[in-house]
Structure 1
Amino acid sequence: MSPPDATALPDRPDQMFDRADEWADLVGFACEPSPGATLALVSGQHRQGKTFLLEAVSRATDGFYFDGQAAAEAESLRRLAERLAEYTGAARPEHWHRWDEAADALFALGDERPALVILDDFPELVGHSPALPSVLHCAYLRMRQERPDNRTRLVLSGASPAVIRRLFAGPSSLHAVASLEVEVRPFSFRKAARFWGIRAPRLAVQVHAVVGGTPAYRGDLVCDDVPAGPDDFDAWVCRTVLNPRVPLFWEARHLLEQEGDYADRALCHSALVAIAGGRSTPGGIADRLGASLHDVSHVLAVMHKHGLLHGEPDAFRPGLTRYRIAEPLLAFEHAIAWPHRAALEQEEAPAVWRRIRPVFDAMVAAPHFAQLCRDWATRYAAWETFGGEVSTAVRGTVPEPEGNTRLDAEVVVRGTADGRPGVLLSVGLARWNEVMDAPHLERLRRTLALLTASGEDTSQAVPACYGGVGFGPELRAAEAKGEVLLIGADRLYHGE
């Protein structure tokens, strides 16, 4: 086993889509020639290609890869010893009785050269060996002190970032000594469209509203079944996510089980149905379910901790947290499949889909389009678009001074302008399935007037309309006068 050339790091495999930054970080870590053992933590939700990436890095750098499984400690140690014997060419595997023996053997790989050692699905090993993080922490510190020239590059991988950090908190504190943290995230909506080979922006939004940016959903769960074009989307939904013969049909129902043992899964599902149905605040969800605010808040906190929900403050009421479902497939399940399960089990999918298609547009595609607009504002919009550097884009509500009505804004952009952080740069409306025109601009002007009256500095706030099907002539005329920003689906995917 010859050491890799530190001056020419291995190239990313041709069959790997994107992940260029993650690849560069990991091969650079693996090939770092400096003395001293080092540690990296790699996290990522299920089916993001984390294992595929780590296996490829291991092959490219002649590293040692071990996939953890939910097994008794003795069985895991036996499997690890067999794999290590195969890797080193030893005549027979060692017979370890404790993890500290295995840790010493793994660290010994780096005595002569930079040696990559990957323990994938690490939480599975910890499940049956709770002391393992402490064992590795002690072995790591001992190696740094007693064998400072050792160059083991240890990678511990698995689960969401929140789970990884909880595993390594406290006395073991492997998190504190890690020199690299890599999170393998879903593809952005632009990369997801390229990954699926979809060029039509509106179709890309629809597909992303179902499967998001999780790469395994295309290959492993629908066997590369991609919509042939915009007119094929409805048929694609029926033959994939609504088809019990296709693995994608069952995937969302396993996501809660994969992310942890919740005390009340029924309440979790009910809360997700409420959020998918448009309730976003703890009070609104509790009211919808007829449950106590305490119980609902607890369930929301648990799902947020496990990465199933995102919680964000309202743009104009910071004390109000709004929740949204993090995984699009989970949102689709609880807006479409879960409430209509009986019909889907008793009728043909195309007939059911024709009836509930408006629900998809209103409760799935529309809020998802609004989220993509917020993502576009923070990730892709040029400085000139909003006249400042964007820091956040969230939803916001402004109460009318009289009555119980409110004005909602789906895309409220704040950022830095003229050296001032937190400046209100834009207030925008997002409409997925309606042509936007003068009334939408008037609504934005009313919102800005109310904000000004409440003391908000709106001097640099630009009205913006985000439209999924286009804009009317009056709105186009206002754009020509510089009175409003118009952002369509094509600009989301191709413009700044």
Structure 2
Amino acid sequence: MNAMHVQQWNSPGAPEGTSRPERLFDREGEWAALLSFACDPHPGADLGVVMGRHRQGKTLLLEALAGATGGFYFCGQQATESEALQRMGEEYARYRRASRPFCWHDWKECLDAVLAAGDDGPAPVVIDSFPDLVEASPALPSIIYGALRHFERTPLDRRVRLLLAGETAPVMTRLFGSASPLRARTGLILDVQPLDFREAARLWGIDDLGLAFLVHNVVGGTPAYRHDYVDDDVPAGRKDFDAWVCRTVLNPRVPLFHEARHLLDEAIGPWNRGVCHSVLAALARGCTTHGEIATLLGQQLTDTSRALTVLRDRGLLRSQPDGLQPGTTRHHITDSLLAFEHAVVRPRRAALEQADARTVWEEARPAFDSLIAVRGFTQICRDWAVSFADWGLGTQQVAASRGTLSGPSGEGGLDAEVVVRRVNGSRTGPLVSLGLARWSTGMDLHHLQYLRRILDRLDPRDTGSVRLALYGASGFSPALHFAQARGDVMLVDLERLYRGA
């Protein structure tokens, strides 16, 4: 069965009362897809897979789904196979309101019993933290495959809806990748991503767009950080931002202060954490290519390559071809808190544990402004270009990345922060837009002239209908507004980024 990512809101088999729980912020598409899968009334055995990084709300979604549909939810943990089976038997007994725990000798016996819950209707069976169970029981995926095949051969009115969930990691990729036999049986593949910058502003309840942007550059779009990790502390306004940073992410008594290190440790496990921290620090300082990172760290390219692969496989890194030199690959940290940690906190952690946070932040604020805010603004401009801008291409997808051109001998190179290209399958296609992004600098005609210089260096066959764009958070000159009125350039400010197309 083909994988599905978003389905219609209502499922014909959904019981009454299965509207999205209020405690779930946003996630309408994810909830609809899960509900449609879980309540599909058609007979047969279906497998669903839910993936995503830590703290994105997978468990909350799955617990809510089980509660709303009368399904069974079980969360695995690191344990021996016998302990996992014992816990499963205890929790399934509570679910079935049995007088005593079920005792199963192996996973086959367990799954035969638990999946039979579908005899009474399409109630889902949800197994969360699935990779932890596989670690203790490597044969479990094969047992599941066999169980699903077995239930397909049973009476036609039997329904089995099994959902397996786990963090984005090589284990999930290997188990449900294109070469896996389980992939052919998968009817739902759902990747729970962080909220985008617009959704994050709504989550935090911030109407001041400049403040929303600054907060996003500290915590990103991870829903879990909104409440418990900062004790419901939201900056009262732009003037309160510095104090808020000191009260939360720079405060050792607040969970958010420790979260970035925990996030990395959970993601990479026992692999060489020192190298990964160093690679992230190099990325946070502005290195974007494999060679730049290796040179800064004084490492062999092979050592850096391994760390980049580990971080990318764990979803902590995004790798993209350069928008103007496809042979060059550029890497970016995907999590704002990790970038903040390695640009601001990590170099000053000893001082933070000994001195007043306000003093440390005053010294660190220039690094935040020049490293984190500048690149963060560039990234939301690219995100807007991909997800919200109307390029007049219909359903044609686009990709946005940084683009660089090497200068002729004796001349410097040229850079464009937002290079938008059509996407043709797995390859990037024709150029759609060329743009510059400036967070703290007002923009004038010389920025437009700079874009035209880049355009003049490109192959005319690739530039026939290219739109020039200037993305600015600090205003545009009257001359640029006049140029926009003539159709010479597109101006994108914070208002348009957060609320326009």
Question: What range is the shorter-chain TM-score in?
Answer: over 0.9
Give me the whole-angstrom Cα distance separating, in 1, the residues matched to 2:178 and 2:455: 48
Match of 1:410 among 417, 441, 448: 417
Match of 1:439 among 446, 463, 471: 446
| Map 1:298-313 → 2, pairs under 5 A | 298-313=306-321
Give me the whole-angstrom Cα distance separating, in 2, the residues matched to 1:309 and 1:170: 22
- Confirm or deny that 1:401 pairs with 2:408: yes
Q: State the shift of 1:476 in Å.
A: 2.2
- Confirm or deny that 1:391 pairs with 2:411: no
From the superposition, tell whether residues 168 and 427 of structure 1 become closer, same or farther in structure 2 (CA, over 3 Å). closer
Q: State the shift of 1:175 in Å.
A: 2.4
Corresponding position of 2:285: 277
Match of 2:276 among 250, 253, 268: 268
The residue type equivalent to 1:412 in the other structure is V
Tell me the alpha carbon deviations over residues 76-112 of structure 1, each in whole angstroms, 9 at most, x when there is no partner: 1111111111111222122111111101111111123
Say which is worse superposed, 16-25 or 235-244, in terms of deviation. Answer: 16-25
Say which is worse superposed, 406-415 or 469-478, in terms of deviation. Answer: 469-478
Where 1:315 maps in the other structure, the secondary structure is: coil
Corresponding position of 2:120: 112
Corresponding position of 1:58: 66
Q: State the shift of 1:260 in Å.
A: 2.5
- Confirm or deny that 1:197 pairs with 2:202: no
- Confirm or deny that 1:151 pairs with 2:156: no
From the superposition, tell whether residues 158 and 394 of structure 1 become closer, same or farther in structure 2 (CA, over 3 Å). same
Where 1:383 maps in the other structure, the secondary structure is: coil
Taking structure 1 as the reference length, the TM-score comes to 0.94
Q: Do the aligned partners of 1:161 and 1:183 also contact (CA within 8 Å) in 2?
A: no
From the superposition, tell whether residues 487 and 387 of structure 1 become closer, same or farther in structure 2 (CA, over 3 Å). farther
From the superposition, tell whether residues 40 and 199 of structure 1 become closer, same or farther in structure 2 (CA, over 3 Å). same
| Map 1:174-185 → 2, pairs under 5 A | 174-185=182-193
Q: Do the aligned partners of 2:12 and 2:41 also contact (CA within 8 Å) in 1?
A: no
Give me the whole-angstrom Cα distance separating, in 2, the residues matched to 1:358 and 1:433: 12
Q: State the shift of 1:338 in Å.
A: 1.1
Q: Do the aligned partners of 1:428 and 1:465 also contact (CA within 8 Å) in 2?
A: yes
Q: State the shift of 1:147 in Å.
A: 4.0
From the superposition, tell whether residues 102 and 180 of structure 1 become closer, same or farther in structure 2 (CA, over 3 Å). same
Corresponding position of 2:479: 474
Q: Do the aligned partners of 2:268 and 2:311 also contact (CA within 8 Å) in 1?
A: no
Q: Do the aligned partners of 1:134 and 1:172 also contact (CA within 8 Å) in 2?
A: no
Q: State the shift of 1:170 in Å.
A: 9.0
The residue type equivalent to 2:422 in the other structure is G
Unaligned runs of 5+ in 2: 1-10
From the superposition, tell whether residues 481 and 430 of structure 1 become closer, same or farther in structure 2 (CA, over 3 Å). same
Q: Do the aligned partners of 2:444 and 2:479 also contact (CA within 8 Å) in 1?
A: yes
Corresponding position of 1:289: 297
Corresponding position of 1:372: 380
Q: State the shift of 1:412 in Å.
A: 0.5
Q: Do the aligned partners of 2:14 and 2:35 also contact (CA within 8 Å) in 1?
A: no
Where 2:265 maps in the other structure, the secondary structure is: helix
Taking structure 2 as the reference length, the TM-score comes to 0.93
| Map 1:64-463 → 2, pairs under 5 A | 64-160=72-168, 162-168=170-176, 173-384=181-392, 389=396, 391-403=398-410, 405-415=412-422, 422-452=429-459, 457-463=462-468
Q: State the shift of 1:335 in Å.
A: 0.6
Where 2:326 maps in the other structure, the secondary structure is: coil
Q: Do the aligned partners of 1:388 and 1:416 also contact (CA within 8 Å) in 2?
A: no
Give me the whole-angstrom Cα distance separating, in 2, the residues matched to 1:494 and 1:357: 28
From the superposition, tell whether residues 184 and 400 of structure 1 become closer, same or farther in structure 2 (CA, over 3 Å). same
Unaligned runs of 5+ in 1: none
Where 1:39 maps in the other structure, the secondary structure is: strand
Give me the whole-angstrom Cα distance separating, in 2, the residues matched to 1:390 and 1:126: 36
Q: State the shift of 1:73 in Å.
A: 1.1
Q: Do the aligned partners of 2:151 and 2:160 also contact (CA within 8 Å) in 1?
A: no
The residue type equivalent to 1:34 in the other structure is H
Where 1:266 maps in the other structure, the secondary structure is: helix
Q: State the shift of 1:274 in Å.
A: 0.6
Corresponding position of 1:23: 31
Give me the whole-angstrom Cα distance separating, in 1, the residues matched to 2:466 and 2:180: 48
- Confirm or deny that 1:484 pairs with 2:489: yes
Q: State the shift of 1:323 in Å.
A: 0.2
Q: State the shift of 1:403 in Å.
A: 2.4
The residue type equivalent to 2:238 in the other structure is P
Match of 2:469 among 464, 482, 490: 464
Percent identity over paired residues: 52
Where 1:179 maps in the other structure, the secondary structure is: strand
Give me the whole-angstrom Cα distance separating, in 2, the residues matched to 1:86 and 1:388: 48
Tell me the alpha carbon deviations over residues 372-396 of structure 1, each in whole angstroms, 9 at most, x when there is no partner: 0001011111235x99955111110
Give me the whole-angstrom Cα distance separating, in 1, the residues matched to 2:19 and 2:76: 27
Q: State the shift of 1:162 in Å.
A: 4.7
Say which is worse superposed, 276-285 or 351-360, in terms of deviation. Answer: 351-360
Give me the whole-angstrom Cα distance separating, in 2, the residues matched to 1:446 and 1:58: 58
Q: State the shift of 1:481 in Å.
A: 2.2
Where 1:337 maps in the other structure, the secondary structure is: helix
- RMSD of the TM alignment (CA)? 2.0
